[in-house]
Structure 1
Amino acid sequence: MKFKNLLKIACFSTAMFFSAQLFAQVPTPKEHFGFNIGDDYNLANYTQTEAYFKKIANSSDRVKLVDIGKTEEGRSQYMLIVTSPENHKNLAKYKEISQKLARAEGLTPNQAKELAAQGKAVVWIDGGLHANETVGAHQLIQLAYTLASKQDTETKNILDNVIVLLTHANPDGMELISNWYMREADPKKRSISSPPRMYQKYAGHDNNRDFFMLNLKETQNMARQLYVEWIPQIMYNHHQTGPAGTVVAGPPYRDPYNYVFDPLVMTSIDAVGAAMHNRMNAEDKPGYTQRNGSVFSTWYNGGLRTTTYFHNMIGLLTEITGSPTPSEIPLVPSRLLPNGDSPNPVLPKKWHFQNSIDYSISLNYAVLSYAQRYSDELLFNIYKMGLNSIEKGKRDTWALSPKKIDAINEAAKAGSANNPGGRVQMSMKYFDTVMKAPELRDPRGYIISADQPDFPSAVHFLNSLIRTGIVVHKATSEFTVNNKKYPSGSYIVSTSQAFRPHVLDMFEPQDHPNDFKYEGAAPTAPYDAAGWTLAYLMNVKFDRIMEDFTGPFVKNPDGQLLELTTPALPSGSGYLLNAEANVSFTVVNELLKKGVEVFRNPINGGFYVPATPTSKTILSNSKYGMKIIAGAKPANAIKINPSRIAVWDVYGGSMDSGWIRFIMEKHNFDATIIYAPDIDAGNLKSKFDVIIFMDGSIPAYSAAATATPSRNFGPAPETIPAEFRSRLGRVSQDKSIPQIKAFLEAGGKVVAIGSATNLAAHLQLPVSNAIVEMVNGEERRLPSEKYYVPGSVLSVSVDQSQTANWGLDANTDVYFDNSPVFKLSPAAINKGTIKPLSWFSTSTPLRSGWAWGQNYLKDGITAFEANVGKGKLYAFGPKITFRSQTHGTFKWMFNQLYK
């Protein structure tokens, strides 16, 4: 017996020795990078980080390295799967359990509890999404090393009970920003400010606004892991920077939250947030603020963190202070007094990069320790939320919203007028008039008919849903619902599915509450958009089905994208393509590049393409999936040619310009990027036919500025490498505007979007601001207390007879964010020198979001066309290319890009 015990001890000691030897081989960050993560004045780039991740994976049996896809610049985007060696042997099993519980299909509660007991909590932690927020990527490096090497009990418990997904969110951006910072040999001269371009090829900071649309390769890569492959119960998104006078802002978050959420989402955020906050206090790390201590809410969809809520996940965001260059926690007296949002304030002090890394690791461990303690509860709760959603979709359900609360109050008010008297409890009949009204129910599902004008855009919309784990069915033959026939190939999205909140959010209008701190105050701005219903923005035609329905429907496999197919070309001497489909422009541009003649119908803008061997080959391309019919050349058809297109940009990059560049590339338009010095050099008409300007490009007009030289905003030229100095400067009133005017007068076209419509004032066009009131005999812009429309979806009326409007609906949904609204001179309209293209025809144009004082919009012009010499200015107040989400209004830009 003694011998056996001694043998066991010897074996155990040997195992421990080899285990210790194994972990001793995990290289420290300093051994690899040459500095500790958190050392002041030092940043790692992605090339170095990728190499380090590979070293960790090769030296630790706790770590598996997974390439989740390529970035927009062609780098590999990596995710580290970190858990115990024993769990690594069963990863497929644990992934399947996570998927089954999240989707909640065909599981009883008892079966779900059994799976939850067998499974392991899955926690996602990312870093680096916003690359100039350098703490995020660097805490990820430190956390990877810590989890791969530490031998303490807490770490081992985490590894035994949790599968950790460490994901780098923006490799391209880290490479750019870190190299930019480290380019200076003198550490004291290092700065991350003023890099020459955006840290995401197209979107810059907007890479965190792409998670329901999923345009970008990086967001597609991450979405697949989040919503199709692993479906974690908790995801943690690291950001910067905390509000002044604090160290970190974290969960829970301020109201409002989106009304489609399961309540378990909100209470779970509270629970994990409490664990994070408690750990900070227990470790004497002050300066954590929550709820109203910061601006962050849970209303918006589309962020890396926020889209997870619509999938029953516990989404966490922290915004922490700090940078590789030492900084200060500033004195903000109002932050020093403890309150419920900030019970442990931080005092002003010097702040080093290491402080931020230490805080971040503690926050990570708080989340991971919570997950390991409550692993089975987290797994069961995501099932419970999914089951709740499935059950709601199977029965009549009435969702509460601010408009419905108003309707209940209005019903009670009307009722009390007939029964005057003392104060009494409100009768339930007023509730029932709203919350039992059949027409106010949530739909059971949506049908997207295959015979709609822009079916390829509808399929693009559905693929965005599929990428986020939404279940889609396809009709294998013709069917009828509510006496309406639908063709084979139509698609169905049921609301009886686990991720029902996301389905509703993509099809139904958002109803943002009237958010004021007190009566008479200015509106409290939303964290981002107030409304974004994607089906509206993409002009997808769908039917809301209120009763249960069936048909010849087959389920699309989870995560498998729909493919477009083009029917065989009909016989004929030519082909007709409709102007309502965005893909028509994509195909036309390919045809024009191959030398094929293309014509437009002068009545509706449809395209005519003569039948030639080249045109047949291109039009037969199955990827386009467009409807093509044989037809004759229209009378008075207009031959079109490609324009020489320029798109404005600025040193450091404009997100709006980047998104337009993205849209142009996706639709086969060629364009040249130009900067203020290119404009100031003049002779623009010899180089370009069309110039596109967008938000941030054209300064506001100032009568005084005409006599004074323009200011050069931006970095000092001497601090910028010579190769980028030709991009410096801004469009100026004294130098640039005269050149733009000369371009127009010589026959050029300008497309101005959003605030770029300031150009109309510079050109002295008979256009004025419609959002004004008279005060003491003077026109003044309406104050926000009376009028405020943050990012929302509004409906405008469109004059379809205008060539600029070809392909748009008579009533078109636009993305509107306190956008310009115009009054045009009646005399100029009568003369034909200026034409309204779209306008608000009602006093209630809001479709989705929040529009305080929307009645002021009635009769306001939202887009116009104006003659300037031989050329034309096309001015669009709404954001017609916003984040490449507004497919329904792309044609306003596309129509102007031919000659």
Structure 2
Amino acid sequence: MKKIFIVFLFLSTLLNAQKKVDLSYYLPKNVTYNQNIPTPQSVIGHEVGEWHITHDKLVEYMKVLAKSSDRITLENRGKTYEDRPLLLLTISSPENHQNIENIRKIHIDGTNDASVDVANNPIVVYQGFSIHGNEPSGSNAALAVAYYLAAAQGSEIDDLLKNTVILFDPSFNPDGLQRFAYWANTNRSKNINPDPNDREYSEIWPRGRTNHYQFDMNRDWLPVQLPESTARIASFHKWLPNILTDHHEMGSNSSFFFQPGIPSRTNPLTPQMNQDLTREIGTYHAKALDKIGSLYYSEESFDDFYYGKGSTFPDINGGIGILFEQGSSRGHAQETINGVLTFPYTIRNQFTAALSTLEAARKMRVKILKYQQDFYEEARNTGSKKAIVFGDEKDGAKSFHLAEVMKKQQIKIHELKADFTENGKTFKKGYSYVVPMNQKNQRLIKAMFDVRKTFKDSLFYDVSAWTFNHAFGLDYAENISLSKAGNEITDLKMNAGNVSSKSEYGYLMPWNEFYTPKALNTILQKGLRAKVSMKNFTNGGTAYEYGTIFIPVQNQKLNAEEMHQFLNKVVTESHVKIMGVNTGLNDGIDLGSNNFRNITKPKVAMLVGDGVAGNDSGEIWHLLDQRFDMAISRLDTKDFRRMEIAKYTHIVIPSSGLEKSAVEKLKTWVQNGGILIGYKNTARWLSSNKMMNLEFDSSKSDTIKDVSFEDRSLQSGAQVIGGAIFEAKVDRSHPINFGYKNDKIALFRNSTMFVKADKRSYNNPIQYTSNPLLSGYISKENAKVIKNTVPFKVQRMGSGRVIIFTDNTNFRAFWFGTNKLLMNAIFFGDHM
């Protein structure tokens, strides 16, 4: 009898999982709808939740809706890397749309002037969905939410639209959403099978979470390195929304989460009132979810610390960010500890939270508007009358790219009036920028350059440090007199490159500038010969450092005139300076010296696929492809065993290892001259397979007495380095450090892999100092272990080299300060 009951229960659950729903399943009861507004099904051809919405159909519906409703205007703000549009709908009453620009200006005026009465202003709510593409209930709910806002009738919706401007972003991540929808739909059965083992619920690598280059875009709100983020941040600062919602998914066995997160993990720069208002808004979510019987929780699991997330970024910009996390069906229906979780059920919860947000905004409108006004008034009153300055006297591009981020974030920056020196660092006009602190966004400036080494909590949902001057590898000074500032920069431009003069002898290119690898690659791909200097020298009264590139004129495939024209094109595209020289006689090594080593034209490959960290590999792909215009072959791990790899000069393994059968193949390739570059846990794999001789130091745990059963996971979590910044000393004569002007470097680290230093100091060209923590969290015991360890090793194997980095040098595309380490490993690895 028991077995019969279990079978019946399973069948009834299965039938329930396959039960079709219509639009009324999502919509509020007792509301009438304008029949002239098309439903999603009438445009996309299926009911919301029946199939996973593809981005093209989502766009199609939003366009039709905008044409059909006088409550909606549609804006295309740009394109993704895969050429998908980045849409934004502005939703409000027809009367507000007639005056929308004036409403926007009045709203911004309220943040600029405390005397402006904001009580009669509409509140601005930015609603964004599915920044992780394989967390699709958000974007699928956007179909129903947009329909409701366009078609619902009655006094409540009229009051909402009169007093609210809704910035509606139906897909934060078009490329990832499309990738996941394709997977879920192509693996959907007619008879939906909720078995978690079914292929539908296990995406293939790299999965749909990320964008085209495999970036987690919910980490890019502050550094703004991606086109999707650039469009989003422009909209944010144009309107300064009072509330921003970010709709996500989490593990299938979870329920529904809304903020606040864990109170002790809120960034100290966030005002307490922000959290109080977030908590009050939460009561509206609770009431709405109670009404439909959905489980939920708050003030657990998630935090508000890193300002690069969508739910935290508004908190440092006078708004209130709200994270929603829905337990994911990861397909159309899946068995969980809470029963069969259907895709429509997940959509309904997201829909409900979207509407409860708008209800809270309507009811709390004046209170939230006043909070934003007070936020900026306090910021102006507490702003310093001083300034900060950042730059690199030999690398204008890195400085430019940080200035570019600040301009995107609506921060005022000035050129330097004249060169000056502070704390032993020279700040050069054209290579440095001044940022006054007496400006509206001074809190955001503080957040970008924040240095923090003590924390209320030792657990972090994301990184604990992101200090921008360290990330960009720039010299930095604060409390600088405003007299150092020149004109405010309104039209930011990168320094132009140039060739000093035509030469019949040769050209010298210093390696300091960020884009010199791009220039060198273009030169080598043209078939020209180039050499790298292993020592310092002076030519014609100009001093040149380690890593200077020499391009001789004679015995090349281009004649002197053709080479001059070609190099002029190179410097225009790469913003570097190349000097024509008339003699090979130097003070120091001469240009014909054997201390100028030939550079091999690189042909780079990288392992991707199962077992490879998708974010890490995507960041390398993006760096080479987008920043340096270098072709990179991505080799899938499942096919590697049968590939011919002799044609590659370099193979990069980002945080992974291969099966045993590949070891001998790689060993032979390296011994024949290949350069193998491994990251993170690849170091242990290389060591265990005797491709490197490494000695590791074990991470240590802090001794904490009387830990309760409840807190046992907190103790272990506190030993993790979730993301912090550490100082290392560098040997600038070693090829791995070519192009760096300082004898110290700031390194990002999010691992507890510690490699012991070699007894011979020259084999430790990058070594952590005895007190290396610059910013972020590390446990007390691991702070002792990391001292004087090394984050980089290179060893010879036959004619080739094996190189490892213990941590990511290309983190999230904004760690410009260490990008050149990888490029040095590529171009100069055979000289290490």
Scaled by the length of structure 2, what TM-score is found? 0.83
> Of 39, 58, 61, which residue of structure 1 is paired with 2:70?
61
Letter in 2 for 1:689: T
Distance 1:252 1:767 in 2: 41
Contact in 2 for aligned 1:509/1:531 (Cα 8 Å): yes
1:1-58 per-position Cα deviation (integer Å, ceiling 9, x unaligned)? xxxxxxxxxxxxxxxxxxx99932211112223332134xx21211111111111011
Letter in 2 for 1:217: P
Contact in 2 for aligned 1:250/1:319 (Cα 8 Å): no
**Secondary structure of the structure 2 residue equivalent to 1:867:** strand
Superposition deviation, residue 222 in structure 1? 0.9
Residues 186-201 of structure 1: pairs in structure 2 closer than 5 A: 186-187=189-190, 188=192, 191-195=200-204, 197-199=206-208, 200-201=210-211
Tell me which moved more, 354-363 or 583-592. Answer: 354-363
> Of 238, 241, 245, which residue of structure 2 is paired with 1:236?
245
CA 1:624–1:380 in 2, change beyond 3 Å: closer, same or farther? farther
Letter in 2 for 1:642: K
Tell me which moved more, 263-272 or 356-365. Answer: 263-272
> Of 756, 762, 772, which residue of structure 1 is paired with 2:689?
762
Matched, 1:458 2:460: no
Tell me which moved more, 613-622 or 283-292. Answer: 613-622
Matched, 1:792 2:724: yes
Matched, 1:290 2:298: yes
> Of 209, 215, 219, which residue of structure 1 is paired with 2:229?
219
Superposition deviation, residue 580 in structure 1? 2.6
CA 1:562–1:754 in 2, change beyond 3 Å: closer, same or farther? same
**Secondary structure of the structure 1 residue equivalent to 2:298:** strand
Structure 2 alignment gaps of length 5 or more = 1-30, 194-198, 536-545, 554-559, 585-590, 702-714
Superposition deviation, residue 204 in structure 1? 3.3
**Secondary structure of the structure 1 residue equivalent to 2:406:** helix
Residues 791-810 of structure 1: pairs in structure 2 closer than 5 A: 791-808=723-740, 809-810=742-743
> Of 661, 677, 680, which residue of structure 1 is paired with 2:621?
661
Aligned to 1:564: 495
Contact in 2 for aligned 1:601/1:608 (Cα 8 Å): yes
Distance 2:44 2:717 in 1: 54
CA 1:657–1:202 in 2, change beyond 3 Å: closer, same or farther? farther
CA 1:562–1:49 in 2, change beyond 3 Å: closer, same or farther? same
CA 1:764–1:566 in 2, change beyond 3 Å: closer, same or farther? closer
> Of 252, 266, 272, which residue of structure 1 is paired with 2:281?
272
Contact in 2 for aligned 1:246/1:329 (Cα 8 Å): no
Aligned to 1:746: 672
Matched, 1:536 2:447: no
Distance 1:738 1:688 in 2: 16
Distance 1:481 1:784 in 2: 42
Percent same amino acid among aligned pairs?
Answer: 21
Matched, 1:327 2:371: no
Aligned to 1:439: none
CA 1:101–1:628 in 2, change beyond 3 Å: closer, same or farther? farther
Matched, 1:887 2:816: yes
Aligned to 1:553: 486
Superposition deviation, residue 178 in structure 1? 1.2
Residues 672-751 of structure 1: pairs in structure 2 closer than 5 A: 672-681=633-642, 683-684=644-645, 686-695=646-655, 697-698=656-657, 731-732=658-659, 734-751=660-677
Matched, 1:373 2:363: yes
**Secondary structure of the structure 2 residue equivalent to 1:789:** coil
Aligned to 1:142: 144
1:719-748 per-position Cα deviation (integer Å, ceiling 9, x unaligned)? xxxxxxxxxxxx21x211221111111211
Contact in 2 for aligned 1:569/1:616 (Cα 8 Å): no
Structure 1 alignment gaps of length 5 or more = 1-19, 331-347, 396-443, 516-523, 699-730, 775-782
Distance 2:499 2:106 in 1: 44
Letter in 1 for 2:214: G
CA 1:184–1:767 in 2, change beyond 3 Å: closer, same or farther? closer
Superposition deviation, residue 482 in structure 1? 10
CA 1:792–1:551 in 2, change beyond 3 Å: closer, same or farther? closer
Tell me which moved more, 493-502 or 789-798. Answer: 493-502
CA 1:101–1:622 in 2, change beyond 3 Å: closer, same or farther? farther
1:599-630 per-position Cα deviation (integer Å, ceiling 9, x unaligned)? 21112112223575445554464464434445
Matched, 1:394 2:384: yes
**Secondary structure of the structure 2 residue equivalent to 1:550:** helix
**Secondary structure of the structure 2 residue equivalent to 1:204:** coil
CA 1:564–1:233 in 2, change beyond 3 Å: closer, same or farther? farther
Matched, 1:644 2:610: no
Aligned to 2:98: 89
Distance 1:638 1:100 in 2: 61
Aligned to 1:815: 748
CA 1:772–1:177 in 2, change beyond 3 Å: closer, same or farther? closer
Distance 2:531 2:186 in 1: 52
Scaled by the length of structure 1, what TM-score is found? 0.77
CA 1:512–1:531 in 2, change beyond 3 Å: closer, same or farther? farther
Distance 2:815 2:636 in 1: 25
**Secondary structure of the structure 1 residue equivalent to 2:808:** coil
**Secondary structure of the structure 1 residue equivalent to 2:804:** strand
Aligned to 1:711: none
> Of 313, 316, 333, which residue of structure 1 is paired with 2:319?
313
Please tell me the root mean square deviation across aligned C-alpha atoms, in Å: 3.0
Tell me which moved more, 586-595 or 246-255. Answer: 246-255
Superposition deviation, residue 669 in structure 1? 1.9
CA 1:235–1:25 in 2, change beyond 3 Å: closer, same or farther? same
Residues 598-677 of structure 1: pairs in structure 2 closer than 5 A: 598-603=530-535, 604-610=546-552, 612=560, 613-619=562-568, 621-622=571-572, 624-631=574-581, 634=591, 635-636=593-594, 637-651=596-610, 654-665=614-625, 666-677=627-638
Distance 2:811 2:419 in 1: 36
Contact in 1 for aligned 2:163/2:362 (Cα 8 Å): yes
Distance 1:288 1:70 in 2: 36
Aligned to 1:70: 79
Aligned to 1:16: none
**Secondary structure of the structure 2 residue equivalent to 1:893:** helix
**Secondary structure of the structure 2 residue equivalent to 1:191:** helix
Aligned to 1:30: 41
CA 1:798–1:86 in 2, change beyond 3 Å: closer, same or farther? same
Distance 1:863 1:486 in 2: 30
**Secondary structure of the structure 1 residue equivalent to 2:383:** helix
CA 1:256–1:128 in 2, change beyond 3 Å: closer, same or farther? closer
Residues 107-146 of structure 1: pairs in structure 2 closer than 5 A: 107=113, 109-110=114-115, 112-113=116-117, 116-146=118-148
Superposition deviation, residue 380 in structure 1? 3.2
Aligned to 2:769: 841
Distance 1:691 1:531 in 2: 31
